[in-house]
Structure formats: C-alpha cells, structure tokens
Structure 1
Amino acid sequence: MTIWTELLGSQTRYLGEKYRTRVIEAGDGEPLLLLHGVGGHAEAYARNVTRLGEHCRAMAIDLLWHGFSGKPGFTHDAVGTYVDQVLDLLDSEGIERAHVEGESLGGWVALTLALEHPGRVGKLVLNTTAGIKWRPGSVHERPAEGREALRARSLAAIENPVPETVRARLEWLMARPDRVTGELVEVRRRIYAEPATNAALRTVFENSFGFGSGPDRKIAEERLAEVSVPTLVLWSDHNPGSGPDVGRRIAELVPGAAFHCVADAAHWPQWEQPEEHDRVVLDFLGRAE
C-alpha cells in the first residue's frame, strides 16, 4: 500500500484564519485532530486517516513551521504557538470541542491544550508523548547522548536532505528499518528540501531535543493530576529511550487514564501497527464515560 492509496477518499485543504494549516481529512461526525511529532507532517497518519474517518472526522495536520503549513516568525514559545494554531483551526471550522491525539511533540501540544483549554478537548490520546518534566528518579529517561544523537540526525537531514540522511532520521522512528518505505523517504525529502520549510525546521530542531528554548515549556509531572478530560496513554514496546514504564507512569498520574502498549512498534505505532492503533483509539473514543 502506498501513501496515495491509503489516503484515497480523503481530501487535503488549507484551513485557519490566523494561521495557514494544511489538513488531510476524511469522514464526518465528531472531529479527531491528529498531531505529528517534531520534524514530521500530516502523512505520519497516512495509514489511519481514512479508516478513522469511517467513524469520525479525522483531521491530520501539519504543525506550523512543518510540512506545508504556515511559516510565521519563529517564537521561542513554540508549544504555545502550536496550541494557538489548533485553537485557530477549531475556531475557523466552528468546532467547539474536538478529540485530540498527539504523537511525541504532538502529544506535548495536545497535553498542553488539555491543561490550558480543557473545554476545547473531548478526549485525549497521548501517543509516545514528549514534553513531561520528570522528577529525578521518577522514571527512566533517555540519556542525554541519545537526545544529542537524534538532534544530530535531524539536523543532518535538514542540512543535506538526500535519501540517506532522511532515511536515517526516519529509521529512528521504527522498530524495523524496512518499515521506512522509499515513498515515505521521498515525501519527507521533498518537504525538507522546500526552502521555507528547510529554514523553519532548522530553527525548530535547534530549539528541540533538550536544547535551546525547548525545555522551557515542559510540563511538570505534578501537573498530570490536573488533566480533567478522558485520556488514553498509547505507548509501544520499542519506543526509543522511554519504554512502556514511562507510559504506565503517565497513566497512573492522569486521573482515570487508560493505558495500551502496542507490540512490535517504536515511535510511530500508528504507522507500524495501524489496524491495532485505530481499533484501540476508536474503542476509546466510543467508550461511554
């Protein structure tokens, strides 16, 4: 299956008033926003949008400075700006409340949205989420050298967006390197080679992975107890640097949260095990509270 055939029946639009947001969407009914991780783009959910769209209005977006969404001047409160982007999208579509799934950086954005604007979030899915500031010894965190290596791969892909550097960055996301298709490499390579996106992502990467302004917006673990919306913590058994124990810890701290661990997947369980991901998410969204 190619990204194109996976997305047959979907549509791509540019929405928003304050910001220009690219949206790949399918379906009607209750909206479900799908937020990718740092350096990503809406195609991170290419294998999920149409299946999820059989039950809801599934909307995968490009975050600002990513993909083909707007490239405003970079703000050092990037997470706050992403939250503002989501609110702008909801307002422009007349959506009072949406379910939100965020993967990695997207989870950080979704969690911040739920804490700061709980009335705009229906249910929350935290997919291998980033952005939590743990107390020393609370969980087993990724060593600093691991973050530096990921930052190096990300910057290499931006500085020289050729198939080899882009593939190396994408392989970090997968439990098996062969799950990085040639088509996915070419999609990301073309996005990274686009001049405005290349310049914007260079700044994003320089302020991510524990460097620059990125850590300033981290969410203290104590604040997880303040989450007031129904939450599913979705993790994977091979998530690089933070195993299922971290996901379980999040679920313990968020009141009433559910937890599910996807086997044989790393940082992109929605891509590696799409049927299981979609089944679990839809079951959670349909569950009566």
Structure 2
Amino acid sequence: MSTPDDEYASRLVETPYGRLHVRDIGGTGLPIVAMHGFPDDSRIYDRIIPLVTPRRVVALDFSGFGKSERGQETTLRPGQREAELSAVLTELGIDRCVLVGHDASGAVAVNFTLDHAESVDRLVLLNCYYGDAPSLQFPELIRLLGDPDFKPLADALMDDPKMREWILAHTQARFGYAVGDPDGVVAASVVPQWFGEGTRSDALVAIRAWTAALFPDLEVQNRRIADGDLATLTVPVTVAFGEDDPYLNPEVARHIAHQFPHAALHLIKNASHWPQWEQPEQTARLILGDED
C-alpha cells in the first residue's frame, strides 16, 4: 500500500525491505523507470525528467537512500535490489517499461531484464558495470568499502566526518568534477548520502551494505555471462556512457555492449560519470530511443 509523500509526484511504497520513496511523474506512453547507484539517489535524474515529458517517469530511491526509509540492516540480501524494483512496479501497476540503470543499478537493471524480459521494452545502461572487464576500475573509495580485508580501515574513515569529506572530494576530483560546486550532481545527490540533510540521517549503513556486496555480485554476473544469459537476450539495449569517466570508461561500455545481441553503443562527449546531469538533452534522447 502506498502513502502519498507529495501530492504531485512522491509516494512511499511498501517492500519487504522497508518503505521506498518513489517519484512518479504522470504521463503517457511506456513509463521510463530510472534507478540510481551508490552513493547517490533519484535526484541524479532531475535534469532528465523535464526533457522526457509527457512520458511517465518513475525514479526511485533504493532502501536506505534518498528519502527512503532508513534501516539498520548491514547486509544486502541476494536479489534485494531487484525485489525492490519489482515491488515498485507492482505497486504502481507497471507491467512494461523502459528500464534505466546507472552505476551499480546497471547490474540490477540487467538482472531484472534477464529474469523478466516481458516487463522491459528497452534497457538503457548509463556508466555502469556488469561482471569483470579488462579496463574496469572502481573508485578507490568504492574498492576500500568493498574489500572485507580493509573493513577496519573503512570503519575508521567512515566514522571521521573530516576523512569522509576528504575521500569524497578526492573521488569527485578524479571524476573530473569541481570540488564544492553547489550546482553539481555531487552536491545535489551524493553529499546528502554521506552527511545527511535537514532532519534526514546519512545513508552510510546502506552504502556500506551495497558496497560490501560488490565483489560477490560481480562473481554472480560473471557466471551469468559465462552461461550465455546476456547473449540470448532479445530486449534492445542502449549503452550510453559519458566518455570522460576514468573508472567506468568507454572500454567498459564497449565490453558491456558486446555481451548483448541487440545493443547500440553511444559515447557522450563532455560528460563523465553522470551524463544525465552533464548532458541531459542528449541523454534524454537516448533514453527515449531517438538516437538508436
């Protein structure tokens, strides 16, 4: 049962993993369902939403992130993110959509599409990963949080707000973004997850749970690739990467696109990790399928 959080667009959806905040912008045609990765939230799509109307757009905050309910569960269950997505689609009565995944939610989008191909008209992957790739790199911060051998060090860093601020600024600069830009995607969507905002607490528990599952999830993804699951998918796939991302880079995009039989690859100029923020017009056209 959903509970209105905002009369126009926002609601809370009950899932087995807590209440998820969902922005549901009404419109016509196939809905566009957009997901975020770690550590940001649905606001990474703020510049896209006005450009794809009058299509219906659904942007969700996964459990523990954004305006979703904060829990204390330190372990991400296998298939949890896919189950959260499924609960949202069921609650909103969406039986078919254009599914957009970015960063870590790219893997969620792929898994969901493999298991529920009838529910996905087209799959759009923005600067994400799926399984290992020769040129794949994760930000130092994510590798630190994902490696269980470094847990004591990660605990110490995350407990110190000044160190949190330093390592976030380091990552921001490595992506090529100006540190402290008040109009940037980091200020809008990332910083609140690390430090909270208003009366809402930070999302550190959720960040730690998702990053801890990173390497085990990669092994599952590798197995699905080896089993040929991606090679037999008939759903059209759009792979669109900001070409200046030093981590989830153009070679990763090419590697991912190569796994699917029906994939169109687009490298977006003058964009790094969040092309939907830096080049929203072109990214919106790709999501709508206007350039495939």
**TM-score normalised by the chain length of structure 1:** 0.78
Instruction: State the 1:64 CA deviation.
Output: 1.9
Describe the shift of the 1:158–1:276 C-alpha distance in structure 2 as closer, same or farther (beyond 3 A). farther
RMSD: 3.1
Q: Residue 48 of structure 2 aligns to which amino acid in structure 1?
A: N
- Aligned counterparts of 1:76 and 1:153: Cα–Cα separation in 2: 14
Q: Residue 225 of structure 1 aligns to which amino acid in structure 2?
A: A
Say which structure, 1 or 2, has more relative contact order (CA 8 Å, 6+ apart). Answer: 2
Instruction: State the 1:239 CA deviation.
Output: 1.7
Indicate if the aligned counterparts of 1:123 and 1:230 stay in contact, CA closer than 8 A. yes
Indicate if the aligned counterparts of 1:32 and 1:56 stay in contact, CA closer than 8 A. yes
Q: Does 1:185 align with 2:187?
A: yes
Q: Does 1:229 align with 2:228?
A: no
Q: Which residues of 2 match residues 26-45 of structure 1 at below 5 A?
A: 26-29=25-28, 30-45=30-45
Equivalent residue, structure 1, for 2:247: 241
Partner of 2:37, secondary structure, is coil
- Aligned counterparts of 2:159 and 2:231: Cα–Cα separation in 1: 40
Q: Residue 250 of structure 2 aligns to which amino acid in structure 1?
A: P
Equivalent residue, structure 1, for 2:220: 217
- Aligned counterparts of 2:256 and 2:64: Cα–Cα separation in 1: 28
Q: Does 1:276 align with 2:282?
A: yes
Q: Residue 33 of structure 1 aligns to which amino acid in structure 2?
A: V
Q: Residue 68 of structure 2 aligns to which amino acid in structure 1?
A: S
- Aligned counterparts of 1:275 and 1:256: Cα–Cα separation in 2: 24
Indicate if the aligned counterparts of 1:179 and 1:272 stay in contact, CA closer than 8 A. no
Equivalent residue, structure 1, for 2:258: 252
| Percent identity over paired residues | 24
Instruction: State the 1:178 CA deviation.
Output: 6.0
Unpaired stretches in structure 2, ≥5 consecutive residues:
1-6, 147-153
- Aligned counterparts of 1:58 and 1:282: Cα–Cα separation in 2: 11
Instruction: State the 1:13 CA deviation.
Output: 1.9
Q: Does 1:171 align with 2:172?
A: yes
Equivalent residue, structure 1, for 2:136: 141
Instruction: State the 1:187 CA deviation.
Output: 5.4
Q: Residue 36 of structure 2 aligns to which amino acid in structure 1?
A: H
Indicate if the aligned counterparts of 2:268 and 2:275 stay in contact, CA closer than 8 A. yes
Q: Residue 176 of structure 1 aligns to which amino acid in structure 2?
A: Y
Q: Deviations over 1:197-230 (max 9, x none)?
A: 333323333443x3xx443433443432032211
**Number of residue-to-residue matches in the alignment:** 266
**TM-score normalised by the chain length of structure 2:** 0.77
Describe the shift of the 1:284–1:229 C-alpha distance in structure 2 as closer, same or farther (beyond 3 A). farther
Unpaired stretches in structure 1, ≥5 consecutive residues:
1-8
Q: Residue 168 of structure 1 aligns to which amino acid in structure 2?
A: A
